[in-house]
Amino acid sequence: MAQKNRSTSGVLVLLILAVILCFAMATARTQESAAPAANTQTAVSGQDSLGMAKGDSMSVIKKIDDMKEHARLGWFYKVRYSGLGDFYVRGGVFMHPLLACSIIALVFIFERLFTLSRARIDVKSLMNRVSQALRGEGIDAALKVCEGTRGPIAAVIHSGLLRAGQGPDAVKEAIETAGSIETSFLERGLVVLATVSTVAPMLGFLGTVSGMMNAFAAIAAAEQVSAKIVASGIQEALITTIAGLTIAIPTSVGHAFFVSQIERFVLEMEEASANLVNELVELNKK
């Protein structure tokens, strides 16, 4: 009986030891599986922190570069990063000749406006004063009236009066010569405006072709085609076209306006010249 109790006690001890051993092994496995998860979470957290740190450092570097560029460019920095400046940069290399065309057109437009506005006079008033001077005091008084009046019409009348003593034919010849010279002066710069109005859209179309070529080159070089790849090339093409037409349209309008004003001047010169010849013929009859 005592031997049987000892064997039963031994079996119980063995069972208890087996249970303890199994529990210990299960606990060890749980800790081992938890350790890689913790390590993975720590690694992910570390990567996120590293990414945020890199992003912050890049932002700081970009701000420092912007400050350096601002200090280097000065007032031009605001122009470069304004809407118009960004539009100019995105247009590509063909925006440079287009800018030159716009500057040339503006210079000649303002110069012609100033010149033609100063050349405008009251032709009827001038001819009345010349006629009164001729009838009252003679040719010298009429010459002084023309010398005191600016503009091409007064210059043409002055040239005719200088030949008044040589007969009507000489007066007509002098008026025609002076009229040709004054007309050439009035037409100065119109060739440049006509050239700019023709060349500017051509440069814009050339920029369009260049932008499309860049877009297709980007498509060929890319493994996966996306909208961003071709957007810059298409944008360049559209910007140069817009710039060329924006320059050409007002330049063409200005050219047409100046041509109409010059034609009006020529008509007034012819009318004034005819009146002068008639006045001289009437004076010779007397």
Say if residues 142 and 130 touch (Cβ distance below 8 Å).
yes
DSSP 2-66: HHHHHHHHHHHHHHHHHHHHHHHHHHHHHHHHHHHHHHHHHHHHHHHHHHHHHHHHHHHHHHHHH
At 107, is the pLDDT very low, low, confident or very high (cuts 50, 70, 90)? very high
Sequence-ordered strand ranges (E) for 49-120: none
* More reliable by pLDDT, 3 or 207: 207
Buried/exposed 161-199: b ≥16 CB within 10 Å, e otherwise: bbbbeeebeebbebbeebbeebbeebeebbebbeebbeb
Domain ranges across the chain:
48-80, 82-286
Phi, then psi, of 265 in degrees rounded to 5: -60, -45
- pLDDT, average across residues 161-178: 86
- pLDDT, average across residues 85-113: 88
- pLDDT, average across residues 146-166: 87
Q: Residue 189, by phi and psi: left (phi above 0), alpha (psi -120 to 50) or beta? A: left
Look at residue 25 in the predicted model and tell me its pLDDT.
54
- pLDDT, average across residues 101-122: 92
In terms of pTM, does the model score above 0.75?
no
